[in-house]
Amino acid sequence: MTEQSVDTTVAPGATGTRRGPRRGAGTAGQQRAFLLPAVLVTVAVVIFPTVFGLYVSFTDWQLNDPSGRVPNGFANFRAIASDGRFWNALRNNFLFVGIGVPVQYAIALGLALLLNQDLVGRRFFRVAFLLPFMMSPVAAGWMIGRSIFDAQRGPLADLLRTLGFESITFFDTGP
């Protein structure tokens, strides 16, 4: 048998200390600047709607009333507790969550296990199951893009006309 140990030595001039991970990269201002977009989106999408929804739930807000929002305490909650439609909707939600979601998970898990087996045509069925998930964002992007770049009614055409430019027909096939 041969010996498999290796002798290691420290290179001349090298110290035995190792630099740790770099902490605190950038200044505090740079760190805040990188965090600002995420914080703004979180405030706009999560925090503001939650706080505003709580505020509205404790007011009697009639859009056609000139007095505007009138605080009414728990009157909205008392009204909803006595409404039969609310209890029916709540029951339907619990049925959907309690029955529909577990059944969907069981079917999805069964199909995933089936497609993980070594079957003939496995690639075809994988594509057939995943294609709708891949096509939805493509279709949504196509529709949004068509509406943005519409030469007559699109927001980009409106912006160009406002700035004094002629609107561009992006989807024209002519010369």
Residues 134-144 pLDDT 10s: 899 999 999 99
Report the candidate in 101, 165, 7, 33 with the shortest Cα–Cα distance to residue 156.
Answer: 165
Q: What sign does the dihedral 159-165-166-172 (CA atoms) show? A: negative
Residue 2 has pLDDT above 70, yes or no: no
Query: Which range of residues forms the domain containing residue 150?
Result: 121-175
Q: Report the pLDDT averaged over residues 89-99.
A: 96
Residue 20 has pLDDT above 70, yes or no: no
On whether residue 13 sits in a domain, the answer given is: no
Q: What mean pLDDT value characterizes the chain?
A: 86
On whether residue 15 sits in a domain, the answer given is: no
| Per-residue model confidence (pLDDT) at position 174 | 60
Domain count within the chain:
3
| Per-residue model confidence (pLDDT) at position 153 | 85
| Per-residue model confidence (pLDDT) at position 18 | 66
| Per-residue model confidence (pLDDT) at position 115 | 85
Residues 141 and 167 in one domain: yes
Residue 85 has pLDDT above 90, yes or no: yes
Residue 7 has pLDDT above 70, yes or no: no
| Per-residue model confidence (pLDDT) at position 152 | 84
User: Is the full-model pTM beyond 0.75?
Assistant: no
Residues 41 and 73 in one domain: yes
| 10 band by pLDDT with thresholds 50, 70 and 90 | low
Give residues with Cβ within 8 angstroms of 61, minimum separation 6: 68, 69, 70
Q: Report the pLDDT averaged over residues 63-73.
A: 83
- For 112, phi then psi, to 5°, come to -65, -45
Residues 90 and 78 in one domain: no
Cβ pair 157, 132 in contact under 8 A: no
On whether residue 21 sits in a domain, the answer given is: no
On whether residue 3 sits in a domain, the answer given is: no
Helices (H), the chain: 28-42, 48-57, 75-81, 84-95, 101-115, 122-148, 155-162
| 68 band by pLDDT with thresholds 50, 70 and 90 | confident
Residues 133 and 143 in one domain: yes
